[in-house]
Amino acid sequence: MLILFTNQVALSQGLLDGFMRGRGQMVTALSYSYEDYDTYFVGTAKTQNENLGTIKINSVSIFAAAGLTDYLDIVVSLPYIDTRATQGFWSGQKDVQDLNLFLKGRFFEKDFSKKGNLSLMGALGLITPLSDYIADAPVSIGNQSTQLEGRFIAQYSTTSGIFAMGQMGYSKRGNVTMDTGFEVSVPDAWDFIVRAGGSYKKLYADAWFQHQNSRNGTNIGPGIPFPGNEIDFSRIGFTLYHPVPILKNFGVAFSSGFTLMGSNIGISNRFSAALVYHFSVSNTQP
């Protein structure tokens, strides 16, 4: 599988942002995204394959985040992915992909009176496949690896709404057993994200950059299982969110992501649209 955005979609879309939801606050979203590429990196060499053509990926995801307390959030998402190649004869794939489940806690906060706020957060996450989708094929929706992830987030938000965030993560990736019977080691990876933008009552916009680096793995090649590939990438993206008029608590979000460089990955562009709903589950005390 030439790794899709969707494995990382939640991260680059703000699955883990630098904001805490607040106790009793929930946000849910239903999103649709489209991603494609016709050029991919074998190792670091750009390649096009006429026996694949363009790889197109359509996916629908559900997302939810809830503030358990003012300093502890739970975040979950799950995509359904449909991928196919426009040329050649490789079978397409479509299935429920991986469950992403994160606990995010703010362990430090400092207010700079009237100017801004610095927050430091840590998160622990589990990513695990929910179906037995095919992992070892040039057209596939994921790598079947169960992953444990630790993340660290630092965000400075000004009172005017502008914010800047830095995030780092390390993903410990479990082995995958191939249909041939061989067990393949999936390289662990670390990544970092920088994001800046503005968060206002009627608008949210951001731009971000992400870089992932995997530990030693294989390059795409004949007889080489895809899940063992060493996948690196550098990506940028933009997000825009606006509340929907009339409908209270609803909003729409548009996001995009562009792969700039990498190894063993498609040079893909991704566009998503989401319907977002905020609500509160706390009881208001009289």
Minimum Å gap between C-beta 201 and other proteins is: 49
Cβ-based nearer residue to other proteins, 64 or 134: 134
- Measured from the Cβ of residue 76, the count of other Cβ atoms closer than 10 Å reads 18
CA angle at residue 275 from 269 to 279, to 5 degrees? 135
Q: Give φ, ψ of 67 to 5 degrees.
A: -90, 110
Measured CA to CA, the distance from residue 10 to residue 32 in angstroms comes to 12
Of 180 and 285, which CB lies nearer to other proteins in the complex structure? Answer: 180
Q: Compute the least distance from the CB of residue 86 to other proteins, in Å.
A: 12
**CB-based burial, 146-172: b 16+ in 10 Å, e otherwise:** bbebebebebbbeeeeebbbebebebe
Stretch that binds other proteins, among 10-18, 85-93, 120-128, 166-174 (CB under 8 A): 85-93
Choose, by CB under 8 A, the member of 114, 132, 246, 283 that binds other proteins.
132
User: How far is Cα 78 from Cα 28, in angstroms, rounded to an integer?
Assistant: 12
Amino acid occupying residue 150: G
Contact between 179 and other proteins per CB under 8 A? yes
Nearer residue to other proteins within complex by CB, 26 or 139: 139
Which of 52, 231 has the CB closer to other proteins? 52
Q: Applying CB under 8 A, which of residues 137, 196, 240, 275 lies at the interface with other proteins?
A: 137
50 binds other proteins (CB under 8 A): yes
- Judge contact between 217 and 228, C-beta under 8 A: yes
Collapsing DSSP to helix, strand or coil, 25 comes out as strand
Residues in contact with 254: Cβ distance below 8 Å, sequence separation at least 6, in sequence order? 239, 240, 241, 271, 272, 273, 274
With beta carbons less than 8 A apart as the criterion, state whether 199 and 241 touch: no
Shortest separation between residue 261's beta carbon and other proteins, angstroms: 24
Minimum CB separation from other proteins for residue 104, in Å?
A: 35
By rule CB under 8 A, what string of x and - marks binding of each residue 6-45 to other proteins?
----------------------------------------
Q: Which is nearer to other proteins, 50 or 246 (CB)?
A: 50
Q: What does the per-residue mask of binding to other proteins show for 209-248, with x meaning CB under 8 A?
A: ------------xxxx------------------------
Q: Does 80 bind other proteins (CB under 8 A)?
A: no
Residue 249 contacts other proteins per CB under 8 A: no
Shortest Cβ distance from residue 91 to other proteins (Å)?
4
Q: Which is nearer to other proteins, 92 or 150 (CB)?
A: 92
181 binds other proteins (CB under 8 A): yes
**Bridge partners of residue 169, in order along the sequence:** 151, 191
DSSP for 166-204, please give it: EEEEEEEE--EE-TTS-EEPPPPEEEEEEEEEEE-SS-E
Contacting positions for other proteins (CB under 8 A) = 50-51, 87-92, 132, 134, 136-137, 178-181, 221-224
